[in-house]
Amino acid sequence: MEQHRVPPDTPIDLGQWDPNDTGGSQGGKAEARERLSQLNKELERLQELLYAEHKHKILVVLQAMDTGGKDSTIRHVFEGVNPQGVRVANFKVPTPKELDHDYLWRVHKEVPGKGEIVIFNRSHYEDVLVVRVRNLVPPKVWGKRYDHINEFEKMLAEEGATILKFFLYISLDEQKKRLQKRLDDPCKRWKFNAADLKERALWPEYMRAYEDALSKTSTEWAPWYIVPANHKWYRNLVVANIIVETLQRLDMRYPEEAENLDNIVIA
């Protein structure tokens, strides 16, 4: 899984990353389904331990272009976990009140507490992505945000957060197929938003903005992973694997039991 990790201070050229990659997996979808189901069970166990230990805080950041599969990744990777202790925070176009504050204000309120996993469906990275591409603030304003973000995430890490950031990387062609599918399927039409086509037209600008974000904000304390996401089964496996391995490394323990439990007799 380390092959997907962006090393700190490394320039990223997304042209060199393959959204179709399946990691040389031979078994294909059926084997992947089986493996994902094992990972789901392991994540369920680890999340319960995390909740019981009440020590670590887990922040999972998901970013992607439209149709990149953020929602579906959340559904598949976190299938079966206890909803108590796991929460999704969505970041949409900021409200007037949010715009009255600094861009991290709404984000900080949503970070995980002890024992909790929080998944950011979009995040503060929108403030160096859509905001940059759409010129919503001048370059001298968004240009400072990479440093702010690194410092903000460092503070969270030093206060006990484990941060994992995933860029679900699909190709322009794959997005076309997925948008078309939304138009063709009556049950998916509600997801189609004509405004997404305007963002699609800015694909090269978005890729440059993603490259900069990935290069400048992948740190030891909050690494980015570029997840090949054209194949949904591989995307799910990569994300689930990285989360499970990271939680395993935390070496979590159930809290010490109270003394003299052995002598207790339930009447």
Residue of 5, 35, 122, 182 that binds ligand ADP (CB under 6 A): 122
Q: Which residues contact 81 (CB under 8 A, 6 or more apart)?
A: 40, 43, 44, 47, 117
Residue of 130, 137, 157, 252 that binds ligand ADP (CB under 6 A): 130
| Among 76-84, 86-94, 220-228, 252-260, the segment contacting ligand ADP (CB under 6 A) | 86-94
Q: Is 109 in the site for ligand ADP (CB under 6 A)?
A: no
Q: Is 131 in the site for ligand ADP (CB under 6 A)?
A: yes
| Among 38-46, 118-126, 140-148, 235-243, the segment contacting ligand ADP (CB under 6 A) | 118-126
Q: Phi, psi (5° rounding) for residue 76?
A: -80, -40
Q: What angle separates helix 203-217 from helix 145-158, to the nearest 10 degrees? A: 50
| Shortest reach from residue 197's CB to ligand ADP, in Å | 12
Q: Which residues contact 54 (CB under 8 A, 6 or more apart)?
A: 114, 115, 255
Helix (H) or strand (E) holding 249: helix 232-249
Of 178-207, which residues contact ligand ADP (CB under 6 A)? 193
Residue of 66, 116, 153, 212 that binds ligand ADP (CB under 6 A): 66
By beta-carbon proximity to ligand ADP, the closer residue of 51 and 206 is 206
Task: Report the C-alpha gap between 189 and 183 in whole angstroms.
Answer: 5
Q: What angle separates helix 28-53 from helix 232-249, to the nearest 10 degrees? A: 30
Q: Is 128 in the site for ligand ADP (CB under 6 A)?
A: no
Structure tokens of 263? Answer: 């002598």
Residue of 94, 105, 146, 154 that binds ligand ADP (CB under 6 A): 94
By beta-carbon proximity to ligand ADP, the closer residue of 8 and 94 is 94
By beta-carbon proximity to ligand ADP, the closer residue of 42 and 98 is 98
- CB 143: neighbour CB atoms within 10 A? 13
Q: Which of 44, 9, 17 is nearest to 169 (CA)?
A: 17
Task: Report the C-alpha gap between 152 and 257 in whole angstroms.
Answer: 36
| Shortest reach from residue 64's CB to ligand ADP, in Å | 8
Q: Is 91 in the site for ligand ADP (CB under 6 A)?
A: yes
Q: Is 59 in the site for ligand ADP (CB under 6 A)?
A: no
Of 204-263, which residues contact ligand ADP (CB under 6 A)? none
Query: If DSSP codes are grouped into helix, strand and coil, which group holds residue 92?
Result: coil
Q: Note the residues at the interface with ligand ADP (CB under 6 A).
A: 66, 91-94, 121-122, 126-127, 130-131, 136, 193
